[in-house]
Structures are given as structure tokens and as C-alpha cells.
């Protein structure tokens, strides 16, 4: 479970999040809101990329303020732009990077890389230059590099925003196959119809929280 308690966060003089209290247990949770509403800041708090000014974020009993390395190991994070996440020039090397940091045996690394390449349809690209991949392929690489680490949760911050329709479908289909609990930050309301829960942010506060149909209806009404 992820528990967010009495969280406030500012960037300079601007309050980005105010009075956030949430417990997340569901397997599929969507987070929506206008640009600048605080949803991406909220996402980064969940794995310790940001530490709240006040309040706590607890992941399975681990406080992001005190156990940030353990939390980041448990909560995988996928950025909107995969170029911000891909660190090695070759697909196979990029996926292996995190595993090498764990000091795993070479044969175990090779096995895990083979498995994730096959599972997410990247085997034929294993020796390709990452910067030559399509937008959708790059995002699949970024997702695969997170999933190969076997996190307990996966947070995706608007992973389809920069993609065309074909690549959006490719990435969305992949997200639906993720076995772990997923927290998806998105502007695409249609992607959330099969989710268990949708949280709506507005001006740094949670203004709706519930089943997709109800929460998205309140969001669209507020945006009208």
C-alpha cells in the first residue's frame, strides 16, 4: 500500500500540492488534471524523486524521506519523455544497466534481459541504437528497463503524450499487460475506463476520487 499523509509541497513561492491525503491499494489507478494541477509532482513523490516539504509518503511501510533507495527499488517510474530515461546507446545495454547496478551474476542479467525483450516485443531491436528507435519503441524500451527491475509498483507520468496514435496504442496495450499495480498520470480519459479508480487534481488539491465514470465526469464538468 502507498500512503500519502498531510502532504504539502512548494516550488519557490508557489504551492504545488496542498493537504494531500490518499491511500492507494488498487491495481489500476489513474491520475488526471489540467496542466499545472500538481499531478506530475504527486507522481514524483511516490518513489522519492521528490520529497514533500511537509507530510509523509509511505510505501509498504517505507518512508521516502528515510528509505528513499528502498522506495525507488520498489516503485518503478516511467517518464513522459523516454529520452530522459534511456542512458545507454544500445537497447540491450540500456535494459541491463539497472541489473548491473544490483551486482547480479552475468548469467542472471542475461536471462532477465532476454525475458523482458521477448515479453515486450523488443527482441529484434536488442542490438539497435536506442536513438534510432521510433517514439513508441523508445517508450517501450523505457518501460522495459523499469520492469526488468521487478518493482512492486509502476508509476507512469503521461507516457503517451509525445506519441502518435499508432504508438499510443502500442504503449497503452503494453501498459495493460503490466502485472504490477499501475498508477497512470494521463490526459487521455478514454484510457481509464477499465481502471478501478481515478484521482482528479486541481490547483494542487484532490477534487475528485472514485470510479472512472464518476471522477472523469466531475473533471470534464470542472473544465467546461
Where do the domains of the chain lie, and which CATH numbers do they carry?
2-223 (3.40.50.300)
> Model's pTM, two decimal places?
0.95
CB 80 within 8 A of CB 86: no
Q: In this predicted structure, what is the pLDDT of residue 165? A: 87
Q: In this predicted structure, what is the pLDDT of residue 223? A: 76
- C-alpha 145: how far from its chain's center? 12
Look up residue 84 and give its DSSP letter. Answer: G
Give the strand pairing for 62-63 and 54-59: antiparallel
- The grid coordinates of residue 15 equal 504551492
Q: In this predicted structure, what is the pLDDT of residue 27? A: 96
User: What separation, in Å, do the N-terminal and C-terminal C-alpha atoms of the chain show?
Assistant: 34
Q: Which residues of the chain have pLDDT under 50?
A: none
- The grid coordinates of residue 123 equal 527482441
- The grid coordinates of residue 32 equal 488526471
CA 126 to CA 95: how far, in whole Å? 9
CA 52 to CA 190: how far, in whole Å? 31
Provide the residue count of the chain: 224
Q: In this predicted structure, what is the pLDDT of residue 42? A: 98
Residue reference for cell 518493482: 151
Q: In this predicted structure, what is the pLDDT of residue 112? A: 96
Q: In this predicted structure, what is the pLDDT of residue 221? A: 82
- The grid coordinates of residue 31 equal 491520475
Q: DSSP letters of 153-218?
A: EEEEESTTTT--HHHHHHHHHHHHH--S-EEEE-S-GGGGTT-SEEEEEETTEEEEEESHHHHHHH
Q: In this predicted structure, what is the pLDDT of residue 218? A: 86
Q: In this predicted structure, what is the pLDDT of residue 162? A: 86
CA 121 to CA 23: how far, in whole Å? 34
- The grid coordinates of residue 62 equal 517505507
Give the strand pairing for 14-24 and 54-59: unpaired
Q: In this predicted structure, what is the pLDDT of residue 147? A: 97
CA 84 to CA 61: how far, in whole Å? 29
Three-state DSSP class for 107?
helix
CA 88 to CA 86: how far, in whole Å? 6
Amino acid at each position: 500500500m502507498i500512503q500519502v499523509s498531510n502532504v504539502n509541497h512548494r516550488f519557490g513561492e508557489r504551492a504545488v500540492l496542498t493537504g494531500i491525503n490518499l491511500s492507494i491499494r488498487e491495481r489500476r489507478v489513474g491520475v488526471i488534471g489540467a496542466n499545472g494541477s500538481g499531478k506530475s509532482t504527486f507522481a514524483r513523490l511516490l518513489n522519492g524523486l521528490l520529497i514533500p516539504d511537509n507530510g509523509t509518503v509511505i510505501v509498504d511501510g517505507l518512508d521516502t524521506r528515510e528509505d528513499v533507495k528502498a522506495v525507488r527499488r520498489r516503485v518503478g517510474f516511467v517518464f513522459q519523455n523516454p529520452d530522459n530515461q534511456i542512458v545507454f546507446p544500445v537497447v540491450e545495454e540500456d535494459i541491463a544497466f539497472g541489473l548491473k547496478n544490483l551486482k547480479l551474476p552475468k548469467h542472471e542479467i542475461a536471462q532477465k534481459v532476454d525475458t523482458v525483450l521477448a515479453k515486450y516485443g523488443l527482441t529484434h531491436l536488442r542490438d539497435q541504437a536506442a536513438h534510432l528507435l521510433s517514439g513508441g519503441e523508445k517508450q517501450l524500451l523505457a518501460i522495459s528497463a523499469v520492469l526488468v527491475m521487478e518493482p512492486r509498483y509502476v508509476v507512469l507520468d503521461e507516457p503517451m503524450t509525445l506519441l502518435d496514435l499508432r504508438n499510443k496504442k502500442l504503449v497503452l496495450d503494453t501498459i495493460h499487460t503490466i502485472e504490477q499495480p499501475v498508477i497512470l498520470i494521463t490526459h487521455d480519459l478514454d484510457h481509464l475506463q477499465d481502471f478501478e479508480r481515478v484521482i482528479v487534481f486541481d490547483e494542487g488539491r484532490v477534487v475528485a476520487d472514485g470510479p472512472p465514470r464518476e471522477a472523469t465526469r466531475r473533471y470534464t464538468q470542472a473544465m467546461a
